[in-house]
Amino acid sequence: MQRGKIQNQISRIFAFLFSSLKEKFQSVRKKTIIFLVILARRAFVVANQTANTSTPTIETFTVKRRYLTEREVEQLMDTARKLSRHGHRDATMMLVAYRHVLRACEVCSLEWHQVELDQGRLHVRRAKRGTPSVHPIRGDEIRALRRLRRENPTEAYVFVSERGGPISPMGFHHLIAWLGKAAELPFAVHPHMLRHACGFKLANDGHDTRSLQHYLGHKNIQHTVRYTELSPDRFKEFWR
């Protein structure tokens, strides 16, 4: 009888301790969750504040503008001819990338077997599963490429470094960034702006979106529409 009372008291004590510990655990867990939420919010705020000073991506490299005008491309090429150690090579590289809407990896991997100087054709191979195409080469490009070929008659790649291999995309990136600063452009410059420059130039010239899509090598036409959406000349015939 006495033993049963003691066992009941012990059970009640354990039940009381268990419930107390459970309440404290839940309270601690709630406080922990609240602390983690506050910490995550602060981390999110800090990430947003440092996003502008961290290394930017291609799409957010410049806040002011994501493309170059035709005049600004010419300004970069003139700066390369005057200041760059390999002025002709660098200017020609920018010209080819601009005229044929080439990404940095595409222009760096360009080989001479893709270039038909006598027929004036360039066989473009696209990255990111883009559509390959054959582009016409204009006279000033042909002359610049012929001179480049005479300077490097045995090289497989069109644009080679001093070590004899192809220029790397990162090297091309640094070159364009340096030329942008040397040309005193009011914003940071990166190679993909040459591609955007050609897209907007052709859209402003009135080329239809489908032809522009194939020239740029886009699989999805939605990627091409953005050039025509921002074209300032699309409304020029309004209110006349």
Told to judge if 227 belongs to the known catalytic residues of this protein, a careful annotator would answer yes
Count Cβ neighbours within 10 Å for each residue of 78-115 and write b for 16 or more, e otherwise. Answer: ebbeeebebeebbbbbbbbbbbbbbbbebbbbbebeeb
pLDDT one-digit tens code per residue, 73-109: 999 999 999 999 999 999 999 999 999 999 999 999 9
DSSP per position, 73-106: HHHHHHHHHHH-TTHHHHHHHHHHHHHTT--HHH
Strands (E), 20-178: 115-116, 121-124, 133-136
pLDDT one-digit tens code per residue, 151-209: 999 999 999 998 889 999 999 999 999 999 999 999 999 999 999 999 988 888 888 88
89, 100, 173, 218: the active-site residue: 218
Q: In what order do the strands lie in the sheet with 133-136?
A: 115-116, 121-124, 133-136
Q: How does residue 63 score in pLDDT terms, banded at 50, 70 and 90?
A: very low
195, 196, 201, 215: the active-site residue: 195
Told to judge if 223 belongs to the known catalytic residues of this protein, a careful annotator would answer no
Architecture per CATH, 70-229: Orthogonal Bundle (1.10)
Told to judge if 196 belongs to the known catalytic residues of this protein, a careful annotator would answer no
pLDDT one-digit tens code per residue, 101-156: 999 999 999 999 999 999 999 999 999 888 999 999 999 999 999 999 999 999 99
To the nearest 10 degrees (0 to 180), the angle between helices 70-83 and 87-99 is 160
User: Which two structure tokens, joined as six digits, stand for 69?
Assistant: 């005008």
pLDDT at residue 56, as a whole number: 43
Work out whether the CA dihedral 170, 174, 176, 180 comes out positive or negative.
positive
Q: Residue 162: which of 170, 174, 171 has the closest Cα?
A: 171
86, 99, 100, 192: the active-site residue: 192
67, 98, 215, 227: the active-site residue: 227
Told to judge if 195 belongs to the known catalytic residues of this protein, a careful annotator would answer yes
- The Cα-based distances of 35 to 27, 29, 39, 40, 44 in angstroms read 12, 10, 6, 9, 14
31, 128, 214, 236: the active-site residue: 128
C-alpha angle 149/96/102, rounded to 5°? 125
Q: Model-level pTM?
A: 0.69
pLDDT at residue 209, as a whole number: 85
> CA 121, CA 123: separation in Å to the nearest integer?
7
> CA 65, CA 90: separation in Å to the nearest integer?
23
Told to judge if 190 belongs to the known catalytic residues of this protein, a careful annotator would answer no
103, 173, 190, 196: the active-site residue: 103
**Dihedral, CA of residue 168, residue 134, residue 199 and residue 57, to nearest 10:** -30
Is residue 212 within 8 Å of residue 199, measured between CB atoms?
yes
For residue 52, the SS3 value is: coil
